Amino acid sequence: MKLVLSDSKTLRQSLDAIAELITDAEFVVNEYGLSLKAIDPSQIALVIYNLPRDAFEDFKITGQKKLGVNIPSLQQIVKRAKPEDKVILEVGASKRLNITLQGTTKRSFSINLLDLSASELPNPSITYDVFVKIKAPILADGVKDAALFASYLTIKIDNANISISTTSTKGELASETSLTNADVLDKDIKGDAKSIYSIDFLESLLKGASNDTELEIYLKTDAPLKLKYKIQESTIQYFLAPRIEE
């Protein structure tokens, strides 16, 4: 197996987003590209990541290979890449992942591959009532505002607005963005939806998003939030379990 990425930024940003929630995980490399599906240790958030074959300068694989890796270890190595460096991932006869950062200087690293064999996680099968595509700051700013007061926030979306709110002994927040706002890029509202989510987890989910990122949000009352966006040429999506009030 040999994978060559001419742009280290894609992999660096992707690992930053994944490492917020996942420590050890199994990448799958096959004819379609490189992918990952993992759940965080608390089983609150599911991460699904795909970097397509076309994103690679060189892509050599026979059949399918599973790479169990410690995400923070790989993240730290890729962070050492300079902007002009190529990132080369190889697996030889030994149970190690070899990472080469190739630029004006060639730097070679290797990490142990982990045996993480487990049954494949199913994708949640949910029929959502709400879909909106928005610029990331609409959600990111609401999360930051809510974090001033509480550990959880409520997201509500109806035919008129995207609402983010929270309340605690410290104070309260109420934020509304009209669906006619220019930063609301697309929408499909079949009915109102409202759920409560962890602010800490939402901050982690947004780690890989910038101000220009287009977020796809899927919402259903008291159901996992689905959040999807692009990181350069890759796609990351999350399912975040709600907090159910008794």
d(CA 99, CA 4): 10
Task: Tell me if 23 sits within 8 A of 47, measured CB to CB.
Answer: no
- Per DSSP, helices labelled H in the chain are 8-19, 71-79, 136-146, 199-205
Task: Write down the pLDDT at residue 66.
Answer: 93
Question: What does the pLDDT average to over 111-131?
Answer: 88
- pLDDT at position 42 over 90: yes
246: confidence class by pLDDT, cuts 50, 70, 90 = low
Taking residue 218's Cβ as centre, other Cβ atoms within 10 Å add up to 22
Give the whole-angstrom CA distance, residue 151 versus residue 190.
29
Q: Is the pLDDT of residue 116 over 80?
A: yes
| 71 Rama class: left (phi>0) / alpha (psi -120 to 50) / beta | alpha
Averaged confidence pLDDT in the chain: 95
Contact predicate 17/231, CB 8 Å:
yes
Residue % of the chain over a pLDDT of 70: 99
Q: How far apart are CA 34 and CA 4, in angstroms?
A: 12
Looking at residue 47, its pLDDT comes to 97
CA distance 240 to 201: 8
Domains of the chain: 2-112 (3.70.10.10), 130-240 (3.70.10.10)
**pLDDT at residue 92, as a whole number:** 75
Q: For residue range 75-108, what is the model confidence (pLDDT) as tens digits?
A: 999 999 998 999 999 997 778 999 999 999 999 9
Q: 10 Å Cβ neighbour count for 9?
A: 14
Length of the chain measured in residues: 246
What pLDDT score was predicted for residue 122?
Answer: 83
Confidence of residue 123 (pLDDT cuts 50, 70, 90): confident
pLDDT for 145 equals 97
Alpha-carbon distances, residue 204 vs 5, 87, 191 (angstroms): 25, 25, 28
Q: Using CA atoms, how far apart are residues 208 and 220, in angstroms rounded to an integer?
A: 24
Among residues 162, 150, 176, 174, which one has the least CA distance to residue 219?
162
